Amino acid sequence: MKKLLFLLLIPFVGFTQNIDELFLERGEVNFSFEYKNKNQLNDISDIVSIDHKTNTELAYAYANKKEFSEFLKLGIDYKIIPKKIISYKNGSKNNWDYYPTYEEYVDMMIAFADSFPDICKLHNLGTLNSGKEILIVQISDNVGQKENEPSFLYTSSMHGDELAGYILSLRLIDYILNGYNNNTRLTELVNEIDIWINPLANPDGAYYGGNQDVWSAIRYNSNWVDLNRNYPDPEDGSHPDGNPYQEETNIFLGLADTVNFTISANMHGGAEVCNYPWDTWSNLTADDNWWQYVSQEYADSCQTNSGNGYFNYLNDGITNGWDWYSVAGGRQDYMNYFKHCRELTLELSDNKTPNPNDLPALWDANYPSLLNYIEQSLYGIRGIVTDSITGNPIKAKVEITNHDVDSSHVYSNLPIGNYHRYLYQGNYSLTYSKNGYYPKTINATILNNDIVIEDVQLLPFGNTNSISEIATSKSNKIINIDILGRESKANKIKLLKTKKGTIKKKITIN
């Protein structure tokens, strides 16, 4: 028995030495391997971080030392991909063909708020142990004030070496701020939406080689944890990756608890495709047709505004996440399932850190799509839910009969009592409910890129007139036009509205 034990230990000693050598310079390794089928790939995805460069035959992955040790136990042949430190010649901020130093990035974010104080506010969401800050700008006509409008979120580069979105986000902030009161569309976006943009969610990874440049950027954070596997998961629960929630994760968990975002997107790189939920399981979302619609709108616009071959990966530039490969602990599923926010993942470039010379072309291809997606936050059905006796706003559940599954319902949010429900065109029955109140059900017809406004009053229990009371709701519908006033087949700026109507409905008591 002792002899057998000794023989078993021989490869283990060599294995340990190889691992130590492999992780001598950095705490993550990039490698590729062949896989047999999607089920096997999904199983391996529970061990290491599968990369979006993965295709139907060859998988690309990242792993820290612990993860790679587990992968080796599978006995699968692999190939290490050496880290290439490539330093392109930077351009200038005037042309947006460069990557700023970390200090320049911070100065730019401060300058946005200082230059446009009436519509832009800078928030430091938290300072990491390294001293680097997670920064986000908030853009609104009444910035910092709660209003009856949707809150929209863009974040980028939670994988530190996926940096196309880093520059596109900075340029988007600059474009919106300078366009306010000069461009009708941008002005309306700022007036009607509470916009939040975080260009750099993993500064420790992006500036791993030092604050002076991004050419030594890494995927993981400074603790060698993949931040896009570090969120609570609908299927796998808390800590699906086995790691404590990282500083960066806790910061964004706190942001999502503080701001009731209705739509968001998380920018990545390594492919060119819109990835919509779910990532963690094969279930289709209740709003799968809506997701395909808005994803295809993004991809189609990119294709129209770029050269041939851009943003046409997988299903013509869109994919269901699980159909690609499963991910546990991703932020996309966390936001959709736990925060009732519609979030997708934007893969913006095959090259994770594009040559700076390519950044202007990426902007030209993407900025119309980025604006279109922000604009989607204004569509669907929305309104305010109040107490019919006091008129006070209330937090109510808004659920669609025979439609909502997997936490796809939404809530009206305090202090305004406003709700926003995004839907593919069709006829829907919506029920508004809250403990201590009689529920109310209404019917609504939704058109794509259109808005239906339904303000709803709920009657509290104990009112003796509850059964016979007639409730009044105001419907304010805009038909077949862009909410920002642009007719779909003309360049005229014209807003078409139907007259406000009063619809009497009996309260339904179940």
User: Which neighbouring-strand residues pair with 506?
Assistant: 470
Report in angstroms the alpha-carbon separations of 495 from 214, 345, 464, 482.
46, 32, 43, 8
- Confidence (pLDDT) at 24: 85
- Confidence (pLDDT) at 57: 81
Give the pLDDT mean for 398-404: 96
Active-site residue, 343 included = no
User: Which of the four pLDDT bands, split at 50, 70 and 90, describes residue 498?
Assistant: very low
User: Which neighbouring-strand residues pair with 32?
Assistant: 60, 79
Q: Which residues contact 25 (CB under 8 A, 6 or more apart)?
A: none
Render pLDDT for 178-211 as a digit per residue (tens, 0 to 9): 999 999 999 999 999 999 999 999 999 999 999 9
Task: Report yes or no: 264 and 342 within 8 Å, Cβ to Cβ.
Answer: yes
* Cα 191 to Cα 425: distance, rounded to the nearest angstrom: 26
Q: At what angle do helices 184-192 and 164-179 cross, to 10 degrees?
A: 100
Helix (H) or strand (E) holding 138: strand 133-139
Render pLDDT for 293-337 as a digit per residue (tens, 0 to 9): 999 999 999 999 998 899 999 999 999 999 999 999 999 999 999
For residues 145 and 491, the model is more confident at: 145
Range list of H helices, 87-233: 102-115, 164-179, 184-192, 203-206
**Could you tell me which of 117, 201, 91 has the C-alpha nearest to residue 156?**
201
Render pLDDT for 6-36 as a digit per residue (tens, 0 to 9): 223 333 333 444 788 889 888 999 999 999 9
* Cα 225 to Cα 250: distance, rounded to the nearest angstrom: 13
List the domain boundaries for the chain. 25-83, 102-378, 381-506
Q: Is 4 a residue whose pLDDT tops 60?
A: no
- Confidence (pLDDT) at 55: 82
User: Which neighbouring-strand residues pair with 126?
Assistant: 134
Residue with tokens 């602990």: 329
Report DSSP state, residue 20: H
Residue with tokens 């509850």: 466
Task: Report yes or no: 362 and 354 within 8 Å, Cβ to Cβ.
Answer: yes
Could you confirm whether domain 381-506 is CATH 2.60.40.1120? Answer: yes
- Confidence (pLDDT) at 10: 30
- Among 247, 343, 347, 375, which one carries the catalytic annotation? 347
Render pLDDT for 65-84 as a digit per residue (tens, 0 to 9): 999 999 999 999 999 998 87
User: Which neighbouring-strand residues pair with 446?
Assistant: 426
Torsion, Cα 17 18 24 28, to 10 degrees, reads: -130
Tokens of 17: 């030495």
Task: Report yes or no: 453 and 445 within 8 Å, Cβ to Cβ.
Answer: no
For residue 238, count other CB atoms closer than 10 A to its CB.
Answer: 9
- Confidence (pLDDT) at 465: 53
Q: Which residues contact 277 (CB under 8 A, 6 or more apart)?
A: 285, 291, 320, 321, 332, 333, 336, 343, 344
Architecture of domain 102-378: 3-Layer(aba) Sandwich (3.40)
Torsion, Cα 69 72 77 83, to 10 degrees, reads: 0
* Cα 88 to Cα 219: distance, rounded to the nearest angstrom: 19
The CATH number for 25-83, chosen from 3.30.70.250, 3.40.50.720, 3.40.50.1000, 1.20.1280.290, is 3.30.70.250
Radius of gyration (C-alpha) of the chain in whole angstroms: 25
Torsion, Cα 208 134 212 347, to 10 degrees, reads: 70
SS3 of 73-123? CCCCCCEECCCCCCCCCCCCCCCCCCCCCHHHHHHHHHHHHHHCCCCEEEE
